[in-house]
Amino acid sequence: MRSDPAPDLPGFRARWAALRNVPPFLRMVWQASPGLLVLSLLVRLVRALIPVTALWFGKLIIDEVVRLAATPAPETGPLGWIGTDSTGTLVLLLGAEFLLAILSDLLGRLGGLIDTLLTERLTMASSVRLMDHAASLDLAAFEDAGFQDRLERARRQSGGRMTLTGQILTLMQDGVTVASLAGGLVLYNPWLILLLVAALVPAFLGEAHFNAQNYNLDFRRTPERRELDYIRVTAAGVETAKEIKIFGLAPFLIERYRTLSESFYRARRRIASARAAWGTLFSALGTAGYYLAYLWMIGATLTGRLSIGDLTFLAGSFLRLRGLVEGLLTGFSTTASQALYLEDLFGFFRQKPTILPPAEPRALPRPIREGFRFEGVGFRYPGAESWAVRDLSFKLRAGETLALVGENGAGKTTLVKLLARLYDPDEGRILLDGQDLRSFDPVALRGAMGVIFQDFVRYSLSAGENIAVGRIEDRDEPARIEEAARRSLADRIVARMPEGYGQMLGKRFRDGIELSGGEWQKFAIARAYMRDAEVLILDEPTAALDARSEFEVFQRFKELSAGRTAVLISHRFSSVRMADRILVLANGRVEASGTHDELVARPGRYAELFELQAAGYR
């Protein structure tokens, strides 16, 4: 998954090969709701046979009318027919056709209802599967642009394209109808069918061609479309509104959006116009086929080989068949191109994570006895030229508080991500109590850690839930949440909220309260305290805190991390100096380590940075 190039544009063969996704898709539909699927199939089977039945009744009625018209009319006019023996069959036939019309309408509506429900169920099921699968993939995957494109296409697929179920089922239904009508035609004259098919094949090929072009356009333009979405969200988003105003960015963004979407529009217009022009020509061919057949039928009726009823049945069948076969062929081609979109969805599902639990994971040491050891660890982000960290060798002893110091981009956050096994090193290894991190279950490993990243998430959830995400299975344990809030000082913020722990945070939803950066940070820190973490890691946890809060937070952190292993990343020396040991990173390597006093006494980067910061306060 590390080097994940954008897939090549699928060729013609690949398009048809994509149809192999239809069976797993139907399996997915079946899993989403077996009952609805069976019901839908039954309703459609009955509906499929209605047209031929209705046409046949029509033929019988006309033949009966013609027969009656040839007999002398009663003297009382047409009403005189009523109640006489000779009209019995006609009344029966009319009644049957009337009931058939009612049944057809009823089944049509029922089918529509079932399809709507089935689509809802399927959208739900596939979205859940999508989220579930995305959660199982490596973090590295999410940082790869090719992956993001694929995810985007898969997401569109799961949201918008689920009408495919209806399409496939309709295709099946129409198939049965066509078979039944064609059966009738063949009984009269097999050549009629051939005429029909010959007239329709060009239309089908045209459709297939243009559908493929549309898909190609969508495929090639996925990155641009993601950019369009990004611009739209940025230009009209809640989170960005402030900065857009300050910098007056709207015209710039709008212009960029316009230019991009213009080129999209032009490409679509080109395909749509060509499709319309060719479509007209192909349709004319179909019409010509119909009139040739019609001529034959009229000839046969005039020579007495067909009755008037036969003529209406055949002409009706032929007309219906033409519409149906046309629909069937284009439907088939649409389905094939939809199946290409399915390829994105199932291709995404086929993608596998590389950070997996080993076949027989070791039990995580509890408590940790020795600690972690980095041995010549090197790591490069996927697609990056340079190493984010290299030749990292150091120990993180059990029970100690280690501070990581270094300038921006020195590799501090990367080191933490490696420790939590969000990535695996490209070189060297990381040991926990003498065992390679890869020999443990990553989920268990992360479960033993409380990590708060500098770009922690501000969840649009309640205050209590924002803390509970640290250990979501305990979300219904208020005592635990309150305790975590007390430790991180978030309890004081909650005390001021009208709805306490039930208060919605953030501005996204109604009645949500927006917090300051430092307040959000206290909620994030509370998450770390929700867990019985053996290892606490705070990545610049106090950047947004005021001086007093920072002091208090660290006092508590020191108390609470007593006996635990803790890693602290900070640019503030007032915090850093509390650590038992400090690791100075530069360009992804360990440059020096020691206590604050040792490092200040030594000439070097630490003493230099410390002096710079101290000077700022004088």
Ligand X SMILES: Nc1ncnc2c1ncn2[C@@H]1O[C@H](COP(=O)(O)OP(=O)(O)OP(=O)(O)O)[C@@H](O)[C@H]1O
The CA-atom distances, in angstroms, between 312 and each of 24, 62, 70, 188, 559 are 43, 8, 19, 13, 93
Among 413, 435, 460, 613, binds ligand X (CB under 6 A): 413
406 versus 470: smaller Cβ distance to ligand X: 406
* Kind of pairing between the strands at 401-405 and 565-569: parallel
Answer whether 412's CB lies under 8 Å from 539's CB: yes
- Structural tokens at position 615: 């000077």
* 35 CB burial (10 A radius; 0-12, 13-18, 19+): exposed
Q: Residue 347 Cβ, how far from ligand X at the closest point, in Å? A: 23
Centroid of chain to Cα 451: 27
Q: Residue 524 Cβ, how far from ligand X at the closest point, in Å? A: 16
Among 206, 286, 371, 411, binds ligand X (CB under 6 A): 411
The helix-helix angle for 22-32 and 308-350 (nearest 10°) equals 90
The CA-atom distances, in angstroms, between 81 and each of 85, 195, 440 are 9, 42, 91
Give, in degrees to the nearest 5, the angle at Cα 501 between 499 and 507: 70
Please work out the total of residues on this chain that contact ligand X, with binding judged by CB under 6 A.
12
Q: Which of 312, 303, 270, 567 is nearest to 416 (CA)?
A: 567
381 versus 394: smaller Cβ distance to ligand X: 381
3-state SS class at 433: coil
List the interface residues with ligand X, window 105-134 (CB under 6 A): none
Q: Which residue stretch of 240-248, 330-338, 402-410, 472-480 sits at the interface with ligand X (rule: CB under 6 A)?
A: 402-410
416 versus 599: smaller Cβ distance to ligand X: 416
Q: Residue 407 Cβ, how far from ligand X at the closest point, in Å? A: 7
The CA-atom distances, in angstroms, between 530 and each of 286, 455, 502, 525 are 70, 19, 17, 9
Q: Residue 354 Cβ, how far from ligand X at the closest point, in Å? A: 16
List the interface residues with ligand X, window 257-296 (CB under 6 A): none
144 versus 326: smaller Cβ distance to ligand X: 144
Q: Residue 487 Cβ, how far from ligand X at the closest point, in Å? A: 25
Buried b / exposed e along 232-256 (16+ C-beta atoms within 10 A): eebbeeeeeeeebeeeeeeeebeee
Q: Residue 415 Cβ, how far from ligand X at the closest point, in Å? A: 7
Among 60, 388, 405, 494, binds ligand X (CB under 6 A): 388
Q: Residue 588 Cβ, how far from ligand X at the closest point, in Å? A: 7
183 versus 409: smaller Cβ distance to ligand X: 409
92 versus 145: smaller Cβ distance to ligand X: 145
Locus of tokens 């949201």: 159
224 versus 407: smaller Cβ distance to ligand X: 407
| Rounded Cα–Cα distance for residues 132 and 224 (Å) | 27
Q: Residue 412 Cβ, how far from ligand X at the closest point, in Å? A: 4
Residue 587 in contact with ligand X, rule: CB under 6 A: no
Locus of tokens 């799961």: 158
| Rounded Cα–Cα distance for residues 393 and 352 (Å) | 31
Q: Residue 221 Cβ, how far from ligand X at the closest point, in Å? A: 25
92 versus 384: smaller Cβ distance to ligand X: 384
Among 193, 324, 410, 525, binds ligand X (CB under 6 A): 410
Q: Residue 409 Cβ, how far from ligand X at the closest point, in Å? A: 4
59 versus 412: smaller Cβ distance to ligand X: 412
| Rounded Cα–Cα distance for residues 566 and 401 (Å) | 5
Residue 412 in contact with ligand X, rule: CB under 6 A: yes
Among 16, 56, 278, 381, binds ligand X (CB under 6 A): 381
| Rounded Cα–Cα distance for residues 217 and 267 (Å) | 8
4 versus 143: smaller Cβ distance to ligand X: 143
| Rounded Cα–Cα distance for residues 578 and 571 (Å) | 13
Q: Residue 39 Cβ, how far from ligand X at the closest point, in Å? A: 49
Q: Residue 408 Cβ, how far from ligand X at the closest point, in Å? A: 3
The helix-helix angle for 308-350 and 34-70 (nearest 10°) equals 170
207 versus 540: smaller Cβ distance to ligand X: 540
Residue 430 in contact with ligand X, rule: CB under 6 A: no
List the interface residues with ligand X, window 138-197 (CB under 6 A): 143
71 versus 408: smaller Cβ distance to ligand X: 408
Answer whether 166's CB lies under 8 Å from 174's CB: no
| Rounded Cα–Cα distance for residues 340 and 9 (Å) | 11
322 versus 605: smaller Cβ distance to ligand X: 605
Residue 377 in contact with ligand X, rule: CB under 6 A: no
Among 408, 476, 498, 616, binds ligand X (CB under 6 A): 408
The residues that bridge with 585 in the sheet, in sequence order, are: 590
Q: Which residue stretch of 129-137, 268-276, 381-389, 495-503 sits at the interface with ligand X (rule: CB under 6 A)?
A: 381-389
How many residues belong to the chain?
618
Q: Which residue stretch of 249-257, 289-297, 412-420, 456-464 sits at the interface with ligand X (rule: CB under 6 A)?
A: 412-420
Among 409, 434, 478, 517, binds ligand X (CB under 6 A): 409
Q: Which residue stretch of 3-11, 175-183, 300-308, 408-416 sits at the interface with ligand X (rule: CB under 6 A)?
A: 408-416
Q: Which residue stretch of 118-126, 410-418, 462-470, 556-564 sits at the interface with ligand X (rule: CB under 6 A)?
A: 410-418
Among 406, 425, 442, 470, binds ligand X (CB under 6 A): 406
| Rounded Cα–Cα distance for residues 539 and 403 (Å) | 10
97 versus 143: smaller Cβ distance to ligand X: 143
Contacts 24+ apart (CB under 8 A), 307-310: 307/59, 307/63, 307/66, 308/62, 308/63, 308/66, 309/58, 309/59, 309/60, 309/61, 309/62, 309/63, 309/66, 310/59, 310/188
Among 14, 272, 384, 562, binds ligand X (CB under 6 A): 384
Q: Which of 230, 218, 30 is nearest to 126 (CA)?
A: 30
Q: Residue 414 Cβ, how far from ligand X at the closest point, in Å? A: 3
Centroid of chain to Cα 132: 10
Q: Residue 385 Cβ, how far from ligand X at the closest point, in Å? A: 10
| Rounded Cα–Cα distance for residues 565 and 401 (Å) | 6
43 versus 566: smaller Cβ distance to ligand X: 566
Amino acid (1-letter code) at residue 433: D
Residues making contact with ligand X (CB under 6 A): 143, 381, 384, 388, 406, 408-414
